[in-house]
Amino acid sequence: MGAARNWQVIGGKESVVRFEIQKQFLAAAVALVAIGLCAPSISAAPSDEKQRKETAAGSEIDPFADLAELPAPQATPEQASRSWRETLLTENFGFRKEVMSQFDMNERGKTASRQSVGFEALKKFSTATATLASFDFQGRLVRRDGFNPVQNDMEGQGRPGWAFEYHNAYLDLYNVLNPLLSDEQRGDTVGRFNLRAGRFYVPFGLNLQTDTHGTVLQLSNDRNFGFERDWYTGFWGAISPDVNYDVYYLAGSGYDLKFKGQSGLGAIRLSLANKYSYEYGLEGGLSILGGERLSPDAITRRRILAVNIGNENRVETKRVGLDGRYRQAVPTGLLTVTSELSGGRDLSSNLFTQLYQAEYLHASRQWGVSTQYRRFQQEGLGADASIIGEISWYFRNDIGNSNLHWIKLNVERQVEQMQGPHSTIATMQYYFYQ
Amino acid sequence: MKSLVMCLMVAVLALPQYAFAAIGCTLSNPAEDLKYLYPEMTTYKEDLNEFPRLKNGAELFSALRERLGSDLDPIYETFETPYTVYSVFKGESKIGVVHGVNVPGKGGVIQVFLSMDPQTAAIRRFFFQRLESPAARQLRSKEFLNQFEGLTLGDFYKHDYYITVDPGAKADKVAAITPPSFDPSGRPDYEASLRGIRKNLILIDFFVYGKKFEPYFERAKQAAEKAKARKE
């Protein structure tokens, strides 16, 4: 800019000035080439000479050298002071609220409604060096008007009107053998011996890994056993880096904890460790369950089978199940396929359960579609089978299931029924959980 | 009865908002995962941190945004989001710190976990718990993950300084990280992963290390301000 200004102002002495300017340009060009050759990093720096010098020096001198000896850290953020009650309800305490509104109708125009408000509370208990236990409770206040056998409300027939329902109610004690072990032994057994007592998903199939509390689509346990949660106690943990285990004694009574002469159920499940889910999108397991349970209400076969043994409450039960789920990212989203297969006996009657499910979730996590085929076949009684299609619109869809908000339309077509006509049931569900 | 039920419903919904935790990021099987990270461990402890329950929580939350250098996601990075810090012990000695965060990626949420040296706050291991991405295989490669070993939040703040004052400086360890080769569609998830690491380090610095790396942040900030002033 300086050269241009001189050119305009000086006018008649053009040639002399031009020569001077050419000399200046030549010198500047040489200097720039030299700088360019010697210090390439400077080329990207600002043109200001002083800054160039600073910058060149910065490449060689650590500008953070004086911070190498870091000042002592400030205290970690203080928790607001609170009473013991506040501590109990705030420290390592999670609380979620839930709202569900569901309307369904069959092809004959029979309508039903379920409205509920619920919550889930999770509290963890710790010492200075270990988390020892956690407690989870999940419940709902429900209002039902009418009933259609929608997958996620098979118990609803027995609870018209207002009801308070509990769902999860269990205590986990972690590393229960620690008080008996040396430090070295504790290290060897960490995560291996955890105790659970209370009410939770039946440890059969994928339900332990899958929270179906809010969804319309369910896995196969409810149809297989007449309940998808039961009261139980036993151990869970990791056998090896590849395999997890669950070993429980179940009351076999379903919703309420009752002992009416049934011996209860023993259940073992071996499943793939979580790393298979994270690294390969794969979950799966082998489940074995056997013993005696109280037969649930509203299952047609109960009456027929009960006649066989003369006691309408107890059903001798044996099951072996194999399950798997594979999740694969596709260019526009996520594809998941799931299958649960199980066979066994109720009394002397053989049965076979199948469930196949495919889900697609768009990459935005704002919408998804699912389809499921499920079939429960029992020797001498025929089969119940359905094909289900579902479309979901998500306002929020957290992968950890801790922040959910959606609307779903679910249509189930019953293609086989042990008893009664085949129905088509359409369900509209609104769900909020945060 | 009806009115009692209605009152209870209203009471549940009317509970203070701060009590309702939003999305957290926890290890699905802490014992198994922590044992894998620290084979010598004997016990571990989980601590839930939530901005609303911290003194000056609102101030810290806005500080997170400033240090992250980008807007916070309204779903995955809210003020109420809980953060679980795992402290790993061998006997009475603390031998590790593990923390995970959610960041939105192209194919869904990305869960970025770091295991840290409890003394130096340097990354010991970086891993994805969940990653649904077209570039998942490349991002999970050991060659890529291992590059973060030994980095601290200080290195990320230094990077801010160098890109302002001295781009290409050899001391810029973050700039030296080589991205894996992936299809262009995987780029957003690569960038989201780097953002997740940075966010994770900032939060651990807040929750565990008492803002130990603040002097680095301040210096980088001053450098950026000077550079901006020069341009003006």
Render pLDDT for B182-224 as a digit per residue (tens, 0 to 9).
888 889 999 999 999 999 999 999 999 999 999 999 999 888 8
**Nearest residue in B to A336, CA atom:** B132
pLDDT confidence of residue B169 = 87
Mean pLDDT across the stretch A206-234? 94
pLDDT confidence of residue A330 = 84
Using an 8 Å Cβ cutoff, are B128 and B139 in contact?
Answer: yes
Which residues in chain B are contacts of A93 at CB distance < 8 A?
48
Which residues in chain A are contacts of B53 at CB distance < 8 A?
79-80, 90
The fraction of chain A above a pLDDT of 70, given in percent, is 77
pLDDT confidence of residue A13 = 41
Q: Cα distance from B192 to chain A (closest Cα, Å)?
A: 14
**A109: left (phi > 0), else alpha (psi -120 to 50), else beta?**
left
At A372, which amino acid appears? Q
pLDDT confidence of residue A18 = 46
Mutate one of A278, A283, A367 to test the B interface: name it (highest B CB count within 10 A): A278
Which residues in chain B are contacts of A78 at CB distance < 8 A?
54-55
Widest distance between CA atoms in chain A: 126
Mean of the per-residue pLDDT values of chain B: 86
pLDDT confidence of residue A55 = 47
Q: What are phi and psi of A317, to 5 degrees?
A: -130, 135
pLDDT confidence of residue A70 = 57
Encoding tokens for residue A230? 């039961």
pLDDT digit string, tens, across residues A232-268: 999 999 998 899 999 999 999 999 999 988 999 999 9
Mean pLDDT across the stretch B152-163? 93
Q: CB B21 to CB A117 under 8 A?
A: no
pLDDT confidence of residue A120 = 93
Using an 8 Å Cβ cutoff, are A273 and A241 in contact?
Answer: yes
Is the pLDDT reported for residue B64 higher than 50? Answer: yes
pLDDT confidence of residue B108 = 72
Centre a 10 Å sphere on the Cβ of residue A239 and count the other Cβ atoms it contains: 12
- Chain centroid to CA A379: how far? 36
pLDDT band at A319; cut points 50, 70, 90: very high
Dump the DSSP string for A117-171.
EEEEEEEEEE-SS-EEEEEEEEEEEEEEES----GGGGGGGG--EEEEEEEEEEE
**Nearest residue in A to B40, CA atom:** A187
Q: Cα distance from A260 to chain B (closest Cα, Å)?
A: 31
The fraction of chain A above a pLDDT of 90, given in percent, is 56
Q: What gap in Å lies between CA B99 and CA B89, rounded to an integer?
A: 15
- Give the closest of A175, A183, A278 to B129, CB-based: A278
Q: CB B231 to CB A97 under 8 A?
A: no
Centre a 10 Å sphere on the Cβ of residue A165 and count the other Cβ atoms it contains: 15
Question: Distance of CA B127 to CAs A316, B34, B144, B209, Å?
Answer: 47, 12, 10, 21
pLDDT band at B178; cut points 50, 70, 90: very high
Using an 8 Å Cβ cutoff, are A314 and A272 in contact?
Answer: no
pLDDT confidence of residue A60 = 54
Reported ipTM: the value is 0.75
Q: CB B1 to CB A162 under 8 A?
A: yes
**Nearest residue in A to B231, CA atom:** A46
pLDDT band at A148; cut points 50, 70, 90: very high
Q: CB A76 to CB B29 under 8 A?
A: no
Mean pLDDT across the stretch B95-121? 91
pLDDT confidence of residue B121 = 95
**Nearest residue in B to A335, CA atom:** B132
Using an 8 Å Cβ cutoff, are A235 and A195 in contact?
Answer: yes
Q: Name which of A189-193, A289-293, B74-78 the model is least confident about.
A: B74-78
Q: CB B89 to CB A89 under 8 A?
A: no
Is the pLDDT reported for residue B44 higher than 70? Answer: yes
Tokens 């060009």 -> residue: A29
Using an 8 Å Cβ cutoff, are B204 and B114 in contact?
Answer: yes
Mutate one of B45, B50, B219 to test the A interface: name it (highest A CB count within 10 A): B45
Centre a 10 Å sphere on the Cβ of residue B207 and count the other Cβ atoms it contains: 20
What is the separation, in whole angstroms, between the first and last Cα of chain A? 63
Q: Name which of A13-17, A346-350, B26-30 the model is least confident about.
A: A13-17
* Residue, of A394 and A402, whose pLDDT is higher: A394
Q: Name which of A32-46, B125-139, B162-176 the model is least confident about.
A: A32-46
pLDDT band at A344; cut points 50, 70, 90: very high
pLDDT confidence of residue B16 = 40
Mean pLDDT across the stretch A361-369? 89
pLDDT confidence of residue A296 = 57
Which residues in chain A are contacts of B28 at CB distance < 8 A?
274, 277-278
Q: What are phi and psi of A108, to 5 degrees?
A: -90, 5
Q: Which of A424-428, B50-54, B213-217, B225-229 has the highest mean pLDDT?
A: A424-428
| A16 touches B at CB < 8 Å | no
pLDDT confidence of residue A79 = 52
Q: Name which of A298-302, A379-383, A395-399, B97-101 the model is least confident about.
A: A298-302
| A74 touches B at CB < 8 Å | yes
Q: What gap in Å lies between CA A7 and CA A19, rounded to an integer?
A: 11
| A9 touches B at CB < 8 Å | no
Least Cα distance to A410 among A376, A375, A374, A369 occurs for A369
Using an 8 Å Cβ cutoff, are B122 and B150 in contact?
Answer: yes
Q: Cα distance from A192 to chain B (closest Cα, Å)?
A: 8
Number of A:B CB contacts under 8 A?
A: 220
Q: CB B30 to CB A191 under 8 A?
A: yes
Tokens 């995962």 -> residue: B33
Q: What gap in Å lies between CA A419 and CA A376, rounded to an integer?
A: 13
pLDDT confidence of residue B109 = 79
Centre a 10 Å sphere on the Cβ of residue A241 and count the other Cβ atoms it contains: 12
Mean pLDDT across the stretch A52-76? 58
Q: CB A130 to CB B170 under 8 A?
A: no
Q: Cα distance from B190 to chain A (closest Cα, Å)?
A: 15
pLDDT confidence of residue A432 = 96
* Residue, of A20 and A419, whose pLDDT is higher: A419
Local structure of residue A110 (DSSP, 8 states): -
Q: What gap in Å lies between CA A414 and CA B139, rounded to an integer?
A: 44
Which residues in chain B are contacts of A53 at CB distance < 8 A?
none
Is the pLDDT reported for residue A105 higher than 90? Answer: yes
Q: CB B44 to CB A131 under 8 A?
A: yes
Is the pLDDT reported for residue B158 higher than 50? Answer: yes
Centre a 10 Å sphere on the Cβ of residue A353 and count the other Cβ atoms it contains: 24
Is the pLDDT reported for residue A145 higher than 90? Answer: yes
Centre a 10 Å sphere on the Cβ of residue A361 and count the other Cβ atoms it contains: 25
What is the separation, in whole angstroms, between the first and last Cα of chain B? 71
Q: What gap in Å lies between CA A65 and CA B2, rounded to an integer?
A: 70
Encoding tokens for residue A316? 């001798």
Q: Name which of A101-105, A140-144, B133-137 the model is least confident about.
A: B133-137
Q: List the 313-372 stretch of A: residues with Cβ below 8 A of B.
A: 327, 329, 331, 333-334, 361, 363, 365
Dump the DSSP string for chain B.
-HHHHHHHHHHHHHS-GGGB-------SSHHHHHHHH-TT--EEEEEEEEGGGBTTHHHHHHHHHHHHTSPPPTTTS-TT-EEEEEEEEETTEEEEEEEEEEEEETTEEEEEEEEE-TTT--EEEEEEEEE-STTHHHHT-HHHHGGGTT--HHHHHHHHHHHHH-TT-TT-TTTTPPPPP--GGGHHHHHHHHHHHHHHHHHHHHHTSSSTTHHHHHHHHHHHHHHHHHH-
Q: Which of A7-16, A195-204, A236-245, A411-420 has the highest mean pLDDT?
A: A195-204
Mean of the per-residue pLDDT values of chain A: 82
| A160 touches B at CB < 8 Å | no
SS (H, E, C) A86-104: HHHHHCCEEEEEEEEEEEE
